[in-house]
Amino acid sequence: MTIPLAGVILIAVAIIGGAIAMGAFIWAIRTKQFKDLNTGAYVIFDKEEPVGEMTDTTFGYPEKNNPKK
């Protein structure tokens, strides 16, 4: 019984992909990427931004043309 070439290629790709993923995981552990998981969740917030006021126009209207005011 012989293994088809496509099967050999798929197995090789799976092994190489798994090795790359394992290497990335080991790198993340060694460089302490998992040390502080909570800080990244607050990076997008600005401490000086006024509460309830729109300060950007990415998903809304510019302040001068805002029909909600």
Instruction: Establish if 28 belongs to a structural domain.
Output: yes
Q: Looking at the domain assignment, is residue 44 inside a domain?
A: no
- Confirm whether pTM is higher than 0.75: no
Domain membership flag for residue 55: no
| Count: domains in the chain | 1
Any domain includes 14? yes
Tell me, what's the pLDDT at 47?
A: 76
Q: What are the pLDDT digits (tens) for 35-67?
A: 988 887 777 777 777 777 777 767 766 555 555
What is the span of the domain harbouring residue 15? 8-32
CB 15 within 8 A of CB 24: no
Whether 57 is in a domain gets the answer no
Average pLDDT over residues 2-22: 96
Predicted local confidence at residue 62, as pLDDT: 56
Top pLDDT among 8 and 41 is at: 8
d(CA 50, CA 11): 55
Place of tokens 């931004």: 49
